[in-house]
Structure 1
Amino acid sequence: MNTPFNRFPLKPISLAILAAATLPSASLYAQDGSEDVIEEVVATGTRLKGTATAVLQERKNQAFVADILGADQISRTGDSDAAAALRRVTGLTLVDGKFIYVRGLGERYSSTQLNGASVPSPDPTRSVIPLDLFPSDIIESLSVQKSFSPSMPAAFGGGNVDIRLKSIPTDFVFNMTGKIGSNTNNFDDAYQYNGGSDDWMGEDDGTRAAPDSIVALWDSKQFLDDLSTTEARDILKELNKDYDPVLQSVDPDYGFNLSLGNNFDLNEDFRVGFLLTAGYDNSWDVSEGFIGEQAQRSGDLISFPRFFDEVDITEHTVRWSGMANFGIDYNRNHRVDFSSVALNDTRDQISEKVGNTNNIQLSDGQRIRDFEVVYEERQMWSNQIRGQHTFTDLNFLGFDWQFTKSRSSRYAPGAINTRFILTDNNEDGIYDKDTESSLTNATTAARYQFQRLDDRVENFSWNLNYPYAIDKFDMEFKVGGDFVTKARTAENRRFDVNTRGFSSSSTLQGGVFSEILSDANLDAAELSSIALLSDTTIAGDDYVAAQKVDAYYFEADIFFDNTWRISGGVRWEDYRQAVVPFDPKTNQIDLSDEADRAQLAFQESDFYPALAVTYIMSEKVQFRASYGETVVRPDTRELASSTYIDPLTDFPIGGTPGLRTTQIKNYDFRWEWYLDQGDNVSVALFYKDMDSPIESVQSPAQDGPPLVRIANAENGELYGVEFEFLKGLGFIGEGIWDNLFVSGNLTLSDSEIQLNGQNVVEQTGVSTSVTNLTRRLTGHSEYVVNTQIGFDSDNGEHSASLVYNVFGERILIPGIDGFDDSFEQPFNSLDLVYTYYPDFNTTVKFKIQNMLDEQKEIVFEEKVLRSETRGTSFSLSLKYEF
């Protein structure tokens, strides 16, 4: 289609900056067939706003409301992965460092694509992929579409995030980057434990894995229920018990990246190209915190009978990535690309916690000490082949297609949690972890857990577009199909160490788990009739899920007189999903009631229309308005009644068979003003009307944290306004002001849902006492602020950015029993990135993050429920281009 780009002319210097910023990531081949090539262009000037203006052209020409974040913008703000980078986009907030909330809607209300294709998730509790899995070094751009169009999935609430990976370069590329850094929290010694020899690779060497003897019992469906005391002792001896925390110095963070690419003319008709990238990152995060559990109220006083007031956490993360892209072009009109990407993110965390419970009280001279190890390997592999074809003899008819086959996995061996009793025997007020400690005499003195999840996705889509022009009309008509097949299998095995199997409690004295349960002590210990191991795997720990989506869509994009643009169409989607929980011990479905079984299958088909109208008032000003009808469906685990642990809150969550789909009507309006030299201002209004929004509620628990259930609210709404701007400061005066610019965005919004307590009880089947039946959406922030002050020197050798981000408080845990909702508190993030270009080939970058030394807090009724320090991190990197 002949899109009238010339409606938005930029000054020549801005065009030069824009071209310079986008050329390295441009398409491999020119489309005009010209053989004339400009070998080199040397421009003397500043990088002023180059990174921020590089994506203006694409954003201006989007038919539907969208925000684009380019690779240079990501580099300028110093964000290391897709999740961290996306928090810079207007109206987006980051939760747990992994999930993006668009316009205050939780991660379930956003969909994620990789190069326009559906991707699997390695998260056992969510079908949405954690975005921290994608390192920024392989990302070409991030597109966040906030208004629905028929060519994207109908499962659309807040927006659709498309992660577009780097493609074939236009010229030879060979560069290497090395980096080193640390965090102020890492300066002192921190708790660590003995892992495996391959931990630096992000891979367990078998140290944490379950012994073969236990795996054989699981495979034979015998499990550990009927072991004799001798058999239990022999198996316990085979287990890895060397998890004890030891204070050690923390290594610095380090990493590297490598890119190699080029393209070649085979003859007059064929051209080929490739791009290879590899990256590795090894980092440590040390923090301190507080954890409160099950609050109690006495008059105006709120207390925690169970709490940990000494929490020390050390997290070791190893990430590596690899990507290979190959492309071939015929006659500039037909192109086929193949890309393969492999990602790994390994988290190894140990926490040392001291606190009290209902029965173990400080007033009695006792404390509890827990240490916990959580180790998980998250991986994703994706292979994609894409074709783009233009048939010039058929009025430039276009045909695009792609096929993507991808899989993800989460392997979590050897998670362990232990409990010790600390007694102040000498009454000196100090609870010595070595001399005044004993492993608790309980049925669960320690718990081992082993988990495995595999998610597979196949996605095939095609798109046929036909441009047509007549008189003052430029039109393009598009039809397409999108077919997605997903399959997931998950299993969980757990067992407890029952120290009541020892005849004498003196065996449990000491503070080192591996010594108390050493082979020598186990052989010498006198055992009772109680087995030392008990299998606590429960029904629902295993499940399989399948999902299939067949979709067809039609879109029309019509320009009239370069003044009006009308885009719209309809999508038809047939959605089928089934989730089946199993009892691992019987391999039978974990639901005896036929009615409940019937609700495990979920099927719906419907039409989803969308319409967008753009009025081009002048060369610099345009107005957009759009409407779309979309849907949000329950996640796979939420349709099964089995219970799982939410890694965000550590609360148990129970699914609800028969959850209803959330129907959403989306309204958007945006005014955009594009000024000279890349300056721009935009104001957007949005409103969402939701029927049966899927929300979290709580049910009181007998022991431990309350049980969270998933249920439908009656209705809900979300509305707000977004401001965005980019402005050079040269208008203030000459000199330094010419080298500065300011950009930022502000989102102000509100939401409300209505819950019916009786309907929630009937739907979930459990009693609940919701404090606020009318409240905001879970995860919704009433404001989000992003600002950036940028500097570029006249000689182009120096650039710097001071970046600030903050979000308003948001509900993470809905309140029950008269207690108010628990809110995650605003986190004021202030980062500084300085870049030095000593010559044409070298880039030196220094980065400081969280300069205000903010900490993460969850608060209810002015009472801190949880807190965690984050520290100030800093890093230095050197990049050389050959």
Structure 2
Amino acid sequence: MLIKRFARKQLSVAVAVASSGLISSALAQSVAVDTSEQFSPASLEEVVVVGRLQSVAASLTDERLELPYSADFLGFEAIARAGDSTIGAALRRVTGVTLVDSKFIYIRGLGERYSNVTVNGAAVPSPDLARSVIPLDLFPSSIVESLKVQKSWGPELPANFGGGAIDIRTRSVPSGPVAALSIGTGFNTESDDGLTYSDNSGSMPQALTNAISRYKGDLSQSNIFDIENAAGNAISRLEAEQVQRDLILSLNRNVALNQGKLDPDRDIKIDLGNAWDVSDDLVLGASLNWGYDEEYRNKNQIKRSIGNPSDNFSESQRTVYELRKTLAIVLGAEYAEDNTIQLSHYVIQNDADEASITSGFSSNNPASENRPRVNYDTRLEERELELTQVSGSHRLGEFSPVPVLEMLSFEWFYSDAQATTNVPNATSFSGSIDRNTSPETPFISQSSTAGQFEFLALEDNVESWGGRAELPIDIDGRELIVSGGWWNSEKTREYYGYTANIGTNATVGTPQTVFTDERINDLNNVFDLAMGSGFGNESYVAAQKIGAVYGGLDFRMTEEWRITLGARWEEYQQAVLPVNLLDFTGVFNQQLIEQLQDPNQKFAVQNDDIYSSFAVTYSGMSLLGANEFQIRFSASETVVRPDLRELADVAYIDPELNVRVFGNPGLQTTDISNFDLRGEFYYDGGDNFTVSLFYKDLERPIEQVEGAGSDDDTVLRYINGDSGEVYGVEFEGLKTLPAGLFLSGNVTLSDSEIAITSNNEVTNTDRRLTGHSKYVVNASLGYDSPDERHSASILYNISSERIFFAGTSGNDDAFEQPFGSLDVIYNYYPTENLSLKVKVTNLLDSSREFEQKNSSGTNVKILEQEVGTSVGLSLSWKY
């Protein structure tokens, strides 16, 4: 058995190097020879470099071969080869994976709620205002050692498992001196000119905070007058009005929108590290990684009403400035090769500053009158993730009291993380433009919400810890691995939102000319101030606690057959409570207390269950012309729980597509039965082929459906279906070609069904699951020159249309249309230390499009968003 496993590792070197795209025709020949052969001095340095890359890629392929459950991996060199700057972009290359909104991963056609994301095995918080799952564009690829996507469940994973589990494995300390510097620039074809504004920083004014408390959330002139006089502070109604005007003046109104030239993309990355031999047994290491990048992107949109698209539509000019900063510090120690400890600290900041002008028509102002309504919006969203982890791995070895325990190994981790998101001042001003005059005449609406100022704060804290022990036992030459461990996570989430509304009478002008200090101070002008979003409660607090213990048996009965059994007991506790920040009477809290006393209350849940898995693997040496193959079958029972935000009885805006979403406290968990059959075939020269069949049976799947909204507003909510299923086949392979070329790719063909009989509002009660694509295609054609000076790749990614939300009231389901992304990457290596990279993404200039058929059978393009073609250039130096 040991001989066979060693031989498999040698083959995996060739497979890994080829699949990572780091192989030229000359290198392909070098990996085929015996590693004991002597190489000429002239090529010694080149072989050392290649060997290092081989070892990294080969270790991942070896891990894939040794795992009893189906999984796919991406190493840092494959990510660098594709030029992906974030983890989300990199995961597009994995079989059966689609990327949505550049942030969220759909695995095997199941939405982001069906994917579980961990960092080095630990739960992490999310800074996303609209979802509790972490947005994967937050993590830069520069801190990643490898990405693991496990598609069949094992007991070491959290039971919250649907499409798959993603583990982000960050870089460890280096084995020697490392120094690297990279600088880059770029542009986007749709983002040459765009909108900017002066300043949206700061926070909610202290004067407004004090006034909300003093006046019990009611900032009307009459209430100010009543409270001040009741407190013995005799003031006139005119003085009360001045108090209100001063509060309006405290708001940051320096948000004049301007059209201008946008700056090009900029990025810089620095990587430093080293390892020191303190003694024969002790090695210390440290690394520092820092990154900075910024970019402007226009995300212009066109929205159309499903009922009357020709007269009810809007167009948005929308510019988003994104700034990302990353700091990673890693310290590590290794003793006697059997004991390692690592401390990692990460600070990741991602700010998005958005400006938009939206004009449109509706039934109240038809296009024939040529007076479109106009909204002027700004929004700064500051996201930050601070993550500290300490982990260790140990093997008893020579310290074992008895020989049978020499191979006992133990791994543990502790993680403490905080994610915060602040919207210090999001503004929205409503008005109209009379295009019948020359020049056109702008107006501010005569409305109590003519100007809106939104202040949001999110804090998500997660503490996670766990450990795993493993002991291999020899039973008459056969290997039995006994393993077990525990895993815990405690999460708290606080989300608070205030909205201040300024009302005024109809006034000629734009926000920067109407809401000035001079006009607001003039009491002859009509201005008013009130608190409240106008569409429901926004704030909530939530807590979640998961505790689990698990165990497993992995028995290699013969060289060909392997059986794996596992079980996990998991206790789950969660509470989500809405908060009314403007309730000073206690009525809201009293009602909440009464609802919590109801035995059927939905705010807090607690349950525990045992989840089990079974896998069988057959390994052979000759089938379908392969040198080696593996066939695996696995089955498991898991669960998918609603996100905290989906359960909260609150309303919020999804900032990516600017649609309103309502939570549902009545959502139930989804129970899932998973079945997976996978065959892997490996050939000479690193060629390989994998085929997988999968089936998932879902009980009470969670669906996003259309809710009741106005003619020009999309509203979404969540419901449980009765049952659902997903099934399909995945193909993955790599083929080396002559002249340094290689072709790799994957195709997923699948289908899904859902039945909803308990909700009579849904138009289609039997259909596909929302978010499911019938096909996903990833293809790559790569080239490496024999002299190792040039490499290039052509990458193509596309998925079929998927349901964005389920239609109601006779309207058909809304579908996001296929988005075909063609990327081209070229690398030039003039010296061993320098490299120049050129990357062009979305070369076909595809845009995001959403279509929905209305009750009369007309297909309406309800949303279009441009993306543009991006060009990037970077220069890197590496020691």
TM-score, length of structure 2 as denominator length: 0.89
CA contact (8 A) 2:629 2:682 kept: yes
Superposed CA RMSD in Å reads 2.6
Residues 158-182 of structure 1: CA deviation (Å, up to 9, x unaligned): 0000001111111110111101111
Instruction: Specify which of 599, 608, 611 is matched with residue 608 of structure 1.
Output: 611
**Aligned residues of 2:18 and 2:687 also touching (Cα < 8 A):** no
Distance 1:867 1:15 in 2: 42
Give distance in 1, aligned partners of 2:362 and 2:471: 69
Aligned counterpart for 2:832 among listed residues 830, 835, 840: 840
CA spacing shift, 1:354–1:493, aligned 2, 3 Å: same
Q: What amino acid does structure 2 have at the position aligned with 1:407?
A: Q
Shift of residue 125, structure 1, vs aligned partner:
2.5
Report 1:322-721 matches (<5 A). Answer: 322-392=327-397, 393=400, 394-426=405-437, 432=439, 435-500=440-505, 505=506, 508-511=507-510, 513-527=511-525, 531-536=528-533, 540-586=537-583, 588-589=588-589, 591=592, 593=595, 594-595=597-598, 598-618=601-621, 620-701=628-709, 705-721=713-729
Kindly provide the amino acid, as one letter, of the partner of residue 176 in structure 2: D
Tell me how far 1:702 sits from its aligned partner.
5.0
CA contact (8 A) 1:580 1:640 kept: yes
Please state whether the residue corresponding to 1:155 is helix, strand or coil: coil
Which residue of structure 2 aligns with residue 867 of structure 1?
864
Displacement, 1:224?
A: 4.3
Match of 2:782 in 1: 790
Q: 1:647: Cα distance to partner? A: 3.2
Residue 819 of structure 1: SS of its match in structure 2? coil
Deviation at 1:152, TM superposition (A): 0.5
CA-to-partner distance for each residue in 1:39-58, whole Å, 9 max, x for gaps?
A: 99524699799797773222
Tell me which amino acid in the other structure corresponds to 2:521. D
Q: Could you give the per-residue CA deviations for residues 280-336 of structure 1, whole angstroms, max 9, x where no partner exists?
A: 01111124331124x21xxxxx5355321x321111000010111111112111111
| Cα distance in 2 between the residues matched to 1:387 and 1:648 | 39
Counterpart check, 1:239 vs 2:251:
yes
Match of 1:106 in 2: 111
TM-superposed deviation, 1:263? 0.7
Bigger shift: residues 364-373 or 536-545 = 536-545
Read off the aligned partner of 1:825 and give its amino acid letter.
Q
CA distance in 1, matches of 2:244, 2:414: 50
What is aligned with 1:734? none
Unaligned runs of 5+ in 1: 23-38, 197-203, 297-301, 731-737, 761-767
Instruction: Pick one of 93, 99, 111 that aligns with 1:88.
Output: 93
| Secondary structure of 2:830 counterpart | strand
Contact preservation (8 Å) 2:16, 2:58: no
User: Counterpart of 2:234?
Assistant: none
Q: Distance in 2 between matches of 1:868 and 1:538?
A: 26
Find the aligned partners of 1:21 and 1:276 in 2 and give their Cα distance.
27
Does the 8 Å contact 1:843/1:879 carry over to 2?
Answer: yes
Q: SS of the residue aligned with 1:55?
A: helix
* Partner SS state of residue 76, structure 1: helix
- Which residue does 2:232 correspond to in 1? none
Q: Is the 8 A contact 2:15 2:687 kept in 1?
A: no
Retained in 2: the 8 A contact 1:337–1:387?
Answer: yes
Secondary structure at the residue paired with 2:448?
A: coil
Q: Are residues 538 and 872 of structure 1, via their aligned partners in 2, closer, same or farther at CA, if it must alter by over 3 Å?
A: closer
Amino acid paired to 1:447: Q
- For residue 35 of structure 2, what is the aligned residue in structure 1? none
| Maintained 8 Å contact 1:45/1:795 | no
CA–CA separation in structure 2 for the residues paired with 1:752 and 1:218: 50
Verify the 8 A CA contact 1:395 1:467 in the aligned structure 2: no
Residues 741 and 254 of structure 1: CA distance in aligned 2, closer, same or farther (over 3 Å): same
Aligned counterparts of 1:70 and 1:186: Cα–Cα separation in 2: 32
Equivalent residue in structure 2 for 1:194, among 193, 198, 208: 198
Quote how far apart the aligned CAs of 1:153 are.
0.2
Q: What do residues 477-505 of structure 1 show as CA deviations (whole Å, max 9, x unaligned)?
A: 101001111011110000211113xxxx4
State the match for 2:30 in structure 1. none
Q: Which residue of 2 aligns with 1:33?
A: none
User: Which of 207, 218, 222 is equivalent to 1:213?
Assistant: 207
Q: Deviations over 1:632-676 (max 9, x none)?
A: 011112223222223344333222223221100000001110112
- Could you tell me which residue of structure 2 aligns to residue 311 of structure 1? 316
> Aligned letter for 1:520?
E
- Contact in 2 for aligned 1:178/1:878 (Cα 8 Å): yes
Pair 795,158 (structure 1): closer, same or farther in 2 beyond 3 Å:
same
Judge which range, 579-588 or 379-388, deviates more: 579-588
Structure 2 distance, partners of 1:263, 1:19, is 29
Contact 1:696 1:710 in 2 (8 A): yes
Between the aligned partners of 2:18 and 2:730, the Cα distance in structure 1 is: 25
**Please, what TM-score do these two structures have when normalized by structure 1?**
0.89
Report the equivalent of 1:121: 126
| Cα distance per residue 1:68-104 (max 9 Å; x no partner) | 0111111111111001110110000011111000001
Select the residue among 809, 830, 839 that pairs with 2:822.
830
Structure 1 residue aligned with 2:265, among 253, 277, 281? 253
Q: Which residue of 1 aligns with 2:813?
A: 821
Distance 1:13 1:718 in 2: 34
Partner in structure 2 of residue 751 of structure 1 = 752
Structure 2 alignment gaps of length 5 or more: 23-40, 222-239, 622-626, 854-858
- 1:27-46, aligned counterparts within 5 Å? 41-43=44-46
Paired residue type of 2:508: Q
Q: What amino acid sits opposite 1:606 in the alignment? A: D
Quick one: distance in 1 between partners of 2:304 and 2:395? 62
1:834 and 1:845 in contact (8 A); partners too: yes
Q: Whole-Å Cα distance in 2 between the matches of residues 91 and 18 of structure 1?
A: 21
CA distance in 1, matches of 2:281, 2:13: 35
CA contact (8 A) 2:660 2:715 kept: yes
Per the alignment, do residues 122 and 798 of structure 1 end up closer, same or farther by CA in structure 2, a change over 3 Å counting? same
Q: Given the alignment, which residue of 298, 303, 307 partners 1:286?
A: 298
Match of 1:176 in 2: 181
| Partner SS state of residue 445, structure 1 | strand
1:262 aligns to 2:268 (yes or no): no
Establish whether residue 780 from structure 1 lines up as the match of residue 772 from structure 2.
yes
Distance 2:249 2:716 in 1: 37
Q: Which amino acid aligns with 1:605?
A: D
Identity %, equivalent residues: 37
Please give the alpha-carbon distance, in whole angstroms, between the structure 2 residues aligned to 1:21 and 1:755: 46
Q: Which residue of 2 aligns with 1:30?
A: none
Q: Aligned partners of 1:2, 1:597: CA distance in 2, in Å? A: 57
The Cα shift of 1:412 comes to: 0.9
Structure 1 CA distance, aligned partners of 2:668 and 2:347? 36
Check the 8 A contact 1:98/1:131 in 2, yes or no.
yes
Aligned twin of 1:226: 220
Partner amino acid for 1:545? A
1:709 is displaced (CA, Å) by 2.5
Deviates more, 1:693-702 or 1:542-551: 693-702
